Amino acid sequence: MRAGLAALTLAVALAAWGCSQRPPPQAAAESSAAESAGAAVDEQPEATPSKPTKAAGSGNASAEVGSLAVKAMTYDILPADASAKDYPWLPAAELKFSARAPVLVDNIANANPGVVGLQGNSGSDPLPVKKLAAGLPDYAWAAADSDVPIAFKRARYKALDHGRAVIGGAVDGFSPSVAWVKLRDEAGGREFFVFNAHLPAGDDAASAQRRSSAVDGLIAVVHQADASLATPLVVLGDFATLDDEDRAVFADPLDKLAQLGLADAAQLAQKDSSDVAEAASLHDMRATIAGHAYAKVVPQTGRHVDYVFVPVEATVASWAVVSGPHIAEGVAGGRSVTVWEGAVASNHSPVVATVVFTYA
């Protein structure tokens, strides 16, 4: 039923795009030429790609001749203006971005992804990513002044093109958006796209419809960037949709991307490398055990709303929700649990997948 519904909704979505109905006029994707100074991809010296041989892998995937291993992370970092009013069970000092930023940097550096899509880059001036970038000097950035910046290892990848789009109207100050970058692996000359999206949250019908419309816009941007869909791609993001969602409209982000030929990397993964078994990617920095909420306990619901989507034919060597490295064993509600130590970086934990693309 999911595939049939997805085929119909995708056809309607693409027809609507052709009529300039989605995304709205202000959502037209900006080309890299239209990027303002400071938001554009960091300049890197041009290199002549070598003849493709063995691509340098990342994570624990081995890259054969004619393939490329990419370790990709998606991470909603929680806007910098989050406060104890939003999370009263946590110390106010620990919610300040000055306290959370070093932990975010540690979490990213410890996982050591080749590409990273962040969401929630808002709530301060300068934007949070400026502080994070200072702690992650090995990365170059695209769309750094947007809600959805993308980082990539500057020594390994060269940005060939990039853009962004708003893919829905603003509600309560939030507009769903997507950024993208086309990268070339300098070791072997292989090219691939990275898309990074942030969809609106909410478990009501109106929010579900907004997500459905936003993913139509995302799909249209993918087609704009690569009309033939011939180049491998990863789609990262906070889709505000649980991986086991099956309600009509609510499941549209999963259904429509499946119709595009993409799968949740978790479904394709050869192994789950999560540092905490069944850890949730979305949490309120607390867990409920036997009806009681415990602050700083890692919830183990086995569900996620943060995704690395990849082509169904790709190989996924590993997938993980990464709760650490600032975690320890503890006890809550009479049970052995895993707890976060010190400030908790975000109300999301990053999701990381090592993907191997095969090139003809």
pLDDT (tens place) for every residue of the chain, 360 residues total: 444 433 333 333 333 333 333 333 333 333 333 333 333 454 333 232 333 333 333 333 444 458 999 999 999 999 999 999 999 999 999 999 999 999 999 999 999 999 999 999 999 999 999 999 999 999 999 999 999 999 999 999 999 999 999 999 999 999 999 999 999 999 999 999 999 999 999 999 999 999 999 999 999 999 999 999 999 999 999 999 999 999 999 999 999 999 999 999 999 999 999 999 999 999 999 999 999 999 999 999 999 999 999 999 999 999 999 999 999 999 999 999 999 999 999 999 999 999 999 998
Q: Which helix (H) or strand (E) holds 101?
A: helix 97-111
Q: Is residue 286 part of a domain?
A: no
Residue 27 DSSP class? G
What pLDDT is stored for residue 65 in this prediction?
52
Q: What pLDDT is recorded for position 52?
A: 31
Tallying the residues shown for the chain, one arrives at 360
Q: Is 329 part of any domain?
A: no
What pLDDT is stored for residue 39 in this prediction?
Answer: 38
The reply to whether 209 falls in a domain is yes
pLDDT in the model for residue 85: 96
Q: From the centroid of its chain, how far is CA 183?
A: 16
Does residue 91 lie in a domain region? yes
3-class SS at 145? coil
CATH code of the domain covering residue 252: 3.60.10.10
Domain tally for the chain?
A: 1
Sheet with 191-198, strands from edge to edge, namely 157-166, 177-185, 191-198, 233-238, 306-311, 262-264
Which residues are 182's β-sheet partners? 161, 193
Tokens 């000359």 map to which residue?
A: 189
145: exposed, middle or buried (C-beta count within 10 Å: 0-12, 13-18, 19+)? middle
Q: Indicate the pairing of strand 157-166 with strand 177-185.
A: antiparallel
**Domain membership of residue 267 as a residue range:** 2-28+53-281+306-320+351-358
Whole-number Å distance between alpha carbons of 261 and 229: 10
Assess if residue 296 is contained within a domain: no
pLDDT score for 66: 87
Tell me the per-residue pLDDT of 222-280, one tens digit each, with 9 for 90 and over: 999 999 999 999 999 999 999 999 999 999 999 999 999 999 999 999 999 999 999 99
Contact criterion met (CB below 8 Å) for 344 and 285: yes
Q: Per the domain annotation, does 341 fall within a domain?
A: no
User: So what's the pLDDT on residue 188?
Assistant: 93
> Would you say residue 340 lies in a domain?
no
Partners of 331 in the beta sheet?
Answer: 336
The 10s digit of each residue's pLDDT in 287-324 is 999 999 999 999 999 999 999 999 999 999 999 999 99
Q: What is the pLDDT of residue 360?
A: 80
Would 338 be classed as within a structural domain?
no
Q: Where are the beta strands (DSSP E) in the chain?
A: 67-76, 115-119, 139-142, 150-153, 157-166, 177-185, 191-198, 233-238, 262-264, 286-289, 292-295, 306-311, 315-321, 327-332, 335-340, 351-358
